[in-house]
């Protein structure tokens, strides 16, 4: 019987593209050194270099300074990102309705995210997600990263559920879907516009509101 649901954060609960676009536009406004470049050009290039979060921003800022011919301090830009990104965090449509629904069914909820502890924790707080989740696993804090199946074991142990009593929902074919299946959980792929779909997802959803009917069918 289904007891617990684990979620990825970036691209699954957090609309990272929209959040990063809003942050980059705000940082541009506050950084006159870049104003010889048009704002949409700056924002677009920021998002390209970021590669959906898989490139850390030390490299992104060094490239932006170099490409736009700016003599600047990448470390100050990075420090601004670390402290200010969370102010621009937005969740995907239907996020809170879905979480209330799942909690109303008595399910244990967890987040399993790769990333830096303080940064991810700040983003989770900014979205108000601590109120809905029983446990939050961040790779840096635990010394384990997806796709290592042990990170799912750890999360489930804390939630008091076995793998066959749990689902993982995420947008990354390997880190979320394939890895969760290997750890013995059911896996739901949250579709994204990038990359190949996973071969082994149990379900695919495009919107968070599609999750409740799937979960309801698995409950008595």
Binding site for Mg ion (CB under 5 A): 8, 10-11, 171-172
CB of 206 to Mg ion, least distance (A): 15
- For the CB of residue 3, give the shortest distance to Mg ion in the complex, in Å: 23
CB of 190 to Mg ion, least distance (A): 8
Tokens coding 37:
């470049």
- Among 92, 140, 91, 86, which Cα is nearest to 112's? 140
Is there a contact between 207 and 98 (Cβ–Cβ < 8 Å)?
A: no
| N-terminal to C-terminal alpha carbon distance within the chain | 8
Q: Which is nearer to Mg ion, 20 or 77 (CB)?
A: 20
Q: What are phi and psi of 182, to 5 degrees?
A: -65, -30
**Count of C-beta atoms within a 10 Å radius of residue 202:** 15
Q: How far is the CB of 9 from Mg ion (least distance, A)?
A: 7
CB of 162 to Mg ion, least distance (A): 24
Using left for φ > 0, alpha for ψ between -120 and 50, and beta otherwise, residue 69 falls in: left
Compare residues 10 and 135 and give the one whose CB is closer to Mg ion: 10
Q: 21: how many CB neighbours lie within 10 A of its CB?
A: 18
Q: Which is nearer to Mg ion, 77 or 175 (CB)?
A: 175
Question: Closer CB to Mg ion, residue 73 or residue 93?
Answer: 93
If the CB atoms of residues 17 and 165 are measured against Mg ion, the closer one turns out to be: 17
């Amino acid at each position: 019987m289904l007891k617990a649901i684990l979620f990825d954060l970036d691209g699954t609960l957090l609309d990272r593209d929209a959040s990063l676009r809003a942050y980059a536009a705000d940082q541009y406004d506050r950084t006159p050194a870049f104003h010889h470049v048009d704002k949409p050009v700056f924002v677009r290039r920021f998002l390209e270099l970021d590669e959906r979060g898989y490139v850390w921003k030390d490299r992104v800022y060094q490239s932006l300074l170099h490409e736009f011919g700016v003599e600047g301090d990448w470390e100050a830009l990075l420090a601004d990102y670390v402290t200010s990104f969370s102010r621009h965090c937005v969740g995907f449509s239907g996020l809170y309705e879905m979480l209330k629904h799942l909690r109303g069914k008595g399910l244990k909820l967890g987040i399993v995210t790769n990333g830096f502890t303080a940064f991810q924790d700040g983003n989770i707080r900014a979205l108000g997600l601590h109120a809905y989740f029983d446990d939050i696993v961040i790779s840096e804090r635990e010394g384990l990263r997806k796709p290592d199946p042990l990170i799912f074991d750890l999360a489930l142990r804390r939630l008091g559920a076995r793998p066959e009593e749990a689902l993982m929902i995420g947008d990354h074919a390997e880190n979320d879907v394939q890895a969760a299946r290997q750890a013995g959980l059911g896996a739901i792929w949250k579709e994204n516009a990038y990359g190949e779909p996973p071969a082994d997802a149990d379900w695919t959803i495009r919107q968070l509101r599609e999750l409740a009917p799937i979960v309801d069918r698995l409950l008595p």
